[in-house]
Amino acid sequence: MVSALIHMLVFIVFCNRYFGGTLLKRIRGAKFDEAVDDYEPSVTVVVPMFNQGESIHATVDSLLGQAYPDDKLSVIVVDDCSSDDSYLWACKAAVDAPNVTVLRNARNLGKRRSINRAVLAATSEIIVSVDSDVIVNRHAVRQLVRRFVRPEIAAVGGRVNVSNRDDNWLTRMQTIKYFYGYEYNKNIERCFRSVLCLSGCLTAYRRSVLLELHQKLENRSVMGHPIKYGEDRYLTRQIVKAGHQTVMTLDAICYTEVPRGLREYFSQQLRWRRSNLADYFGGLSHVWKLHPIVAVHYFATSALLLAYPALVFNALATGRFWDLAMLHLGIATVLGLVYRVQTRRLPEDERVSALCYLGAILVMPVTYLVLTPLALFTLDTGSWETRGEAHQPVTPGHRPDRSSP
């Protein structure tokens, strides 16, 4: 009985993602991704940084090369007590760039509070959040701004592509996962302007809304413990909860490196699992007030996240694990073939082999059976986790000191 219910959840989620969302997208037509060309507000790009090293220089360079008026675009990099030479590299990137400011926190605050600090320092109408390990397409800011077609829209997310897709089988598999994450998985939420997770890699917000939510964002905690993971998902949900609209466009693009090794990959997935679970529990109080189709999709996806480990465990206990593995293989094969058809017109250097998605059947059991329960029991962790624990406070900085590494 339990197994049947879980398989029903799988069916609902699968249909919503790959059929329902696509159908609604076609029904809405041009209204699915509306844009305007007569809106050109002031924009501040905020880049929170922790132990990013030399690569922050490339991130800032990509922002300085945006196809947007220089007098309306500024950049604020916030170093959150990095223990490496990140701050020096950020300062070097800011040399001869009067519209770039580099701030340094007096103590480790985490990503969201670092962004909050920059938001208070900025005066622009639009704040664009960019992660410190991404390269931003030169038209990205313009494409984000074009989606603020009405006052009710408070946030616009962009698309994240994989920059190191050809490193190995794991990065190729993640390339296909990212493809589905943006091409299909959010279509239902996009149709009703209630996207519940916009990536911090590249998202634009109305500054007035961030100020409205400032106190909630400053004091986020789980079971009384301040946490630093899942900030992007939490912020997006708070925006929707406050009655604002959130949308996403595939025309605003950035590129990020994904994990190359299994240890790094599972560490990332554990962090994302904590974020998903914390978001699910937090959304119980209000997501049901959204459009019924969005609410059903949200709760079915979240319930599956909690229930699927039980299905994997039961399959192991009853000797039916290989039956479940064959189901995973079948799904991965179908999704791989769809990816091949959808990307067949792309240049070879912009896609990967569809067979690479078969790697998902190796990592999915670990992700669901091990990482989901582990995430559930470690929701109160408080570290950045991507590059180690927080370090000792350092002296705060203001404008760049123009030092070189």
Tokens of 308: 């699927």
Q: CA 330, CA 336: separation in Å to the nearest integer?
A: 10
14 φ, ψ to 5°? -60, -45
24-73 tens-digit pLDDT: 999 998 889 999 999 999 999 999 999 999 999 999 999 999 999 999 99
pLDDT at residue 383 in the model: 55
Question: Is 60 exceeded by the pLDDT of residue 83?
Answer: yes
Query: What does the domain layout of the chain look like in residue ranges?
Result: 16-34+132-292
For the residues 245-253, what does the mean pLDDT come to? 97
N-term to C-term CA, the chain: 62
pLDDT at residue 391 in the model: 37
Q: Alpha carbon of 350 to those of 42, 163, 165, 296: distances in Å?
A: 33, 9, 9, 34
**Confidence band (pLDDT; 50, 70, 90) for 390?**
very low
pLDDT at residue 57 in the model: 95
Return the percentage of the chain with pLDDT > 70, whole number.
Answer: 93
Q: Where are the alpha helices (DSSP H) in 137-244?
A: 140-145, 169-183, 187-191, 207-212, 214-218, 231-241
Question: Is 80 exceeded by the pLDDT of residue 392?
Answer: no
* Residue 404 neighbours by CB under 8 Å, 6+ apart: 88, 92
Top-confidence range, 145-154, 227-236, 297-306, 360-369 = 145-154
Burial class (CB in 10 A: 0-12, 13-18, 19+), 154: buried
Question: Is 50 exceeded by the pLDDT of residue 402?
Answer: no
For the residues 230-256, what does the mean pLDDT come to? 95
**Confidence band (pLDDT; 50, 70, 90) for 2?**
low
SS3 content of the chain, % helix, strand, coil (to 5): 50, 15, 35
Q: Could you tell me which of 226, 171, 191 has the C-alpha nearest to residue 390?
A: 226
pTM of the model: 0.89
